[in-house]
């Protein structure tokens, strides 16, 4: 006997949301989708999803509503607005927020859902857009057992790795730490490769040697190798959004009276980068920016 899949409302079809929703649709889920941009909705329609023009239409009748939006303000507007999710979602449904937002906002979402008899989970996404396209994302999940049992099939359809981080709110907090670490590392890598290039080292040599030492890291050996070092700085994950995520970490540190001196320096670099032509480019373009400032051509891997 065929297993019925839940009806899914998916809101937010950006660089990460579109491949995630596409994987759900291809793997047999019944999706209604909404985005403020028409083009990704048309792509989803070609896969068999039902595009709709409003949040309310996307939510009505859905058993699980997924949000994958850029920032806290977008999520709160979509959830709390007069024609938003909480005004239209069915009692007993689940709100599954996969955005990277302020953890205090996640707490507000969880509280509002609980008051209305709605399940809630925060499960932000790890890894890159290229992983999302291949269905290889990683998820950091904050949820109770009952809600997790309902969303687990969706996570397995979109990714390969799931970490349960605790109750609602803990997924967002883990994502904050994860992105603080990787974004700070990306700037260190950009500076290292710039210095190495200035010193006359080839990018191939730097790649090979650091892959064999404890300097090995995903920002050089996965991100930059697959993006900027191929000459591709189209997002991905923009410097603007990276600055937003670092700001979340810096704000949390200030609230907890935790000093993050290296993080503060990285945050300042991302802030300055937003005033350049790279603001809307992939954050791997930090390498190109660092090379511009050093007055040298950015290194590129030789094409095979």
Share of the chain above pLDDT 90, in %: 95
Confidence of residue 303 (pLDDT cuts 50, 70, 90): confident
Residue 291 has pLDDT above 60, yes or no: yes
Q: Is residue 91 flagged as an active site residue?
A: no
In contact, 63 and 94? CB cutoff 8 Å: yes
In contact, 267 and 246? CB cutoff 8 Å: yes
In contact, 183 and 270? CB cutoff 8 Å: yes
CATH class of 7-168: alpha beta
Residue 105: the pLDDT is: 97
Residue 260 has φ and ψ, to the nearest 5°, of -130, 75
Over residues 215-241, the mean pLDDT reads: 96
Strand-strand pairing, 125-126 and 30-34: unpaired
Query: Per residue in 65-93, pLDDT tens?
Result: 999 999 999 999 999 999 999 999 999 99
Over residues 21-40, the mean pLDDT reads: 96
Over residues 83-108, the mean pLDDT reads: 96
CA angle in degrees (0–180, nearest 5) for 185-23-53: 100
Helix axes 286-294, 261-273, angle to 10 degrees: 80
Query: Per residue in 164-196, pLDDT tens?
Result: 999 999 999 999 999 999 999 999 999 999 999
In contact, 222 and 128? CB cutoff 8 Å: yes
Query: In this structure, which CATH number among 2.60.40.1120, 2.30.30.40, 3.40.50.720, 1.10.1040.10 belongs to the domain 173-294?
Result: 1.10.1040.10
CB-based contacts of 195, cutoff 8 Å, min separation 6 = none
Residue 251 has pLDDT above 60, yes or no: yes
Strand-strand pairing, 50-51 and 94-97: unpaired
Residue 138 has pLDDT above 90, yes or no: yes
Catalytic, out of 175, 227, 244, 281:
175
Strand partners, 137: 159
CA distance 21 to 33: 8
What ranges do the domains of the chain cover? Answer: 7-168, 173-294
Residue 2: the pLDDT is: 42
Confidence of residue 27 (pLDDT cuts 50, 70, 90): very high
Structural element, H or E, at residue 91: none
Residue 5: the pLDDT is: 77
Residue 128: the pLDDT is: 86
| Cα 248 to Cα 6, 45, 131, 181, distances in angstroms | 33, 35, 24, 13
Structure tokens, 181: 């670490």
Q: Which residue has the tokens 């070092």?
A: 229
Over residues 8-14, the mean pLDDT reads: 97
Query: Per residue in 267-280, pLDDT tens?
Result: 999 999 999 999 99
């Amino acid at each position: 006997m065929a297993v019925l899949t839940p009806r899914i409302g998916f809101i937010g079809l950006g660089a990460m949301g579109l491949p995630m929703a596409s994987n759900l649709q291809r793997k047999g889920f019944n999706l209604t989708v909404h985005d403020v941009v028409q083009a990704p909705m048309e792509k989803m329609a070609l896969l068999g999803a039902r595009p709709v023009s409003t949040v309310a239409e996307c939510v009505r009748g859905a058993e699980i509503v997924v949000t994958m939006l850029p920032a806290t303000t977008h999520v709160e507007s979509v959830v709390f607005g007069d024609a938003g999710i909480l005004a239209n979602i069915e009692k007993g449904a689940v709100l599954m927020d996969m955005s990277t937002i302020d953890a205090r906002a996640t707490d507000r979402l969880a509280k509002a859902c609980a008051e209305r008899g709605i399940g809630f989970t925060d499960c932000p996404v790890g890894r890159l857009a290229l992983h999302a396209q291949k269905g290889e994302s990683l998820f950091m999940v904050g949820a109770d057992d009952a809600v997790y049992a309902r969303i687990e099939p969706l996570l397995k359809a979109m990714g390969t790795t799931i970490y349960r981080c605790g109750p609602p709110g803990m997924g967002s907090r883990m994502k904050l730490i994860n992105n603080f670490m990787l974004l700070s590392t990306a700037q260190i890598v950009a500076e290292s490769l710039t210095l190495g290039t200035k010193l006359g080292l080839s990018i191939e040599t730097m790649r090979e040697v650091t892959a064999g030492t404890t300097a090995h890291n995903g920002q050089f050996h996965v991100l930059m190798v697959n993006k900027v070092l191929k000459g591709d700085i189209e997002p991905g994950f923009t410097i603007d959004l990276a600055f937003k995520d670092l700001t979340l970490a810096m704000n949390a540190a200030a609230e907890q009276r935790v000093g993050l001196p290296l993080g503060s320096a990285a945050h300042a670099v991302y802030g300055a980068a937003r005033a350049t032509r790279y603001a809307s480019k992939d954050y791997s373009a930090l390498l190109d920016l660092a090379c511009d400032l050093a007055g040298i051509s950015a290194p590129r891997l030789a094409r095979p």
